[in-house]
């Protein structure tokens, strides 16, 4: 059986991309979360010359795995180190643009809105993720007691917030809260989850607007119903600030509406335009209608490329 390490710096978004690919391969990975000591912490991924004492966090030592799936800036140094220490035996797959040459890696997977290209680069539509029909079915079953009673048709609402590129302003939140209240008034069942980046003031605006409605708003306690919301939803609304959430929503095959926030970046503009051209997302303007598209399956695209390139078992 193929042994696999997932190497990240512990950020949920990047780790989930790696987990989705491993799960698509049918592999049970060992997750390694690493940090870097100076000067690598400042100069990685450009410095190179990694040593055993370069890293903090989970140990990186033999026996080395057959496959490494890595993502995040700090993981780049770790991926190179493992490749070298394993005598080149470990197949190293880097997820997301490493900002350096793709040459040190056996495979690099980048989304369409990144510019890196090469013979060992696979281009995905969006971010690989863990959404599968089985996971959606499990989400439905796991949260049936909470979400099964939400009126039909059900609308999953995934709210992000402020970031380097986007702002969820009080004015946008007031508009969104009013739109959601109107959906409730027209018989839609709302299932809402917000992030820490949403902000307490915006969250309070939402709670006040939906007071007395039938909306389900996760309060952050207990198990996260994220996959349950995805599984039960007939429609999905997602804020424009999160590539990960849009990618996950677009993997469900359900109609996806994007809630515009203030701000953008060239990469986000290319990503949103590509998703729109694929027919995956539409702008949310308060109304919903059903539409169809080919669900994304970027984890499978990457896993199939890994299978093609994976050397025969020794």
In the prediction, which pLDDT does 314 show? Answer: 54
Q: How many CA atoms lie within 13 A of 281 on its CB side?
A: 29
pLDDT tens per residue across all 314 residues of the chain: 789 999 999 988 899 999 999 999 999 999 999 999 999 999 988 888 899 999 999 999 999 999 999 999 999 999 999 999 999 999 999 999 998 999 999 999 999 888 899 999 999 999 999 999 999 999 999 999 999 999 999 999 999 999 999 999 999 999 999 999 999 999 999 999 998 889 899 999 999 999 989 999 998 888 889 999 999 999 999 999 999 999 999 999 999 999 999 999 999 999 999 999 999 999 999 999 999 999 999 999 999 999 999 887 65
In the prediction, which pLDDT does 219 show? Answer: 80
Phi/psi of residue 79, nearest 5 degrees: -65, -45
CB 69 within 8 A of CB 5: yes
May I ask the CATH architecture of the domain 133-283? 3-Layer(aba) Sandwich (3.40)
In the prediction, which pLDDT does 13 show? Answer: 85
Phi/psi of residue 133, nearest 5 degrees: -55, -40
How far apart (Å, rounded) are the C-alpha atoms in residues 185 and 80?
A: 55
Per-residue buried b or exposed e for 279-303, using 16+ beta carbons within 10 Å of the residue's own CB: ebbeebeeebeeeeeeebbbbbbbb
- Cα 203 from chain centre: 22
Q: Which fold has domain 4-125+299-309?
A: Rossmann fold (3.40.50)
How far apart (Å, rounded) are the C-alpha atoms in residues 164 and 145?
A: 37
In the prediction, which pLDDT does 132 show? Answer: 96
Query: Could you state, in order of their start, the residue ranges of all structural domains in the chain?
Result: 4-125+299-309, 133-283
The model carries a pTM of 0.90
Q: Do domains 4-125+299-309 and 133-283 have the same CATH topology?
A: yes
In the prediction, which pLDDT does 313 show? Answer: 61
């Amino acid at each position: 059986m193929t042994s696999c390490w997932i190497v990240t710096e512990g950020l949920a978004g990047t780790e989930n991309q790696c987990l989705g690919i491993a799960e698509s391969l049918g592999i049970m990975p060992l997750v390694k979360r690493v940090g870097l000591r100076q000067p690598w912490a400042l100069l990685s991924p450009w410095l190179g010359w990694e040593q055993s004492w370069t890293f903090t966090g989970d140990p990186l030592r033999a026996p080395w795995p057959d496959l490494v799936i890595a993502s995040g800036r700090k993981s780049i140094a770790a991926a190179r180190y493992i490749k070298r220490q394993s005598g080149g035996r470990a197949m190293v797959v880097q997820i997301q643009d490493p900002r350096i040459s793709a040459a040190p890696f056996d495979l690099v997977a980048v989304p369409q809105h990144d510019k890196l290209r090469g013979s060992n680069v696979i281009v995905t539509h969006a971010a690989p993720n863990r959404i599968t029909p089985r996971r959606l079915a499990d989400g439905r079953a796991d949260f049936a007691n909470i979400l099964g009673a939400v009126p039909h048709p059900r609308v999953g609402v995934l709210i992000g917030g402020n970031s380097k590129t986007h702002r969820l302003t009080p004015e946008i939140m007031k508009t969104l809260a009013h739109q959601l209240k109107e959906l409730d008034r027209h018989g839609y069942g709302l299932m809402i989850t917000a992030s820490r980046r949403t902000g307490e003031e915006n969250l309070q605006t939402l709670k006040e607007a939906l007071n007395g409605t039938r909306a389900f708003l996760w309060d952050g306690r207990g198990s996260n119903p994220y996959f349950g919301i995805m599984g039960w939803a007939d429609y999905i609304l997602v804020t424009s600030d999160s590539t990960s959430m849009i990618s996950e929503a677009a993997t469900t095959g359900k109609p996806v509406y994007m809630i515009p926030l203030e701000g953008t970046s060239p990469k986000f503009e290319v990503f949103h335009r590509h998703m729109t051209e694929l027919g995956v997302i539409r702008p949310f303007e308060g109304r919903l209608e059903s539409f169809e598209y080919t669900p994304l399956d970027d984890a499978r695209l990457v896993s199939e490329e890994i299978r093609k390139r994976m050397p025969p078992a020794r």
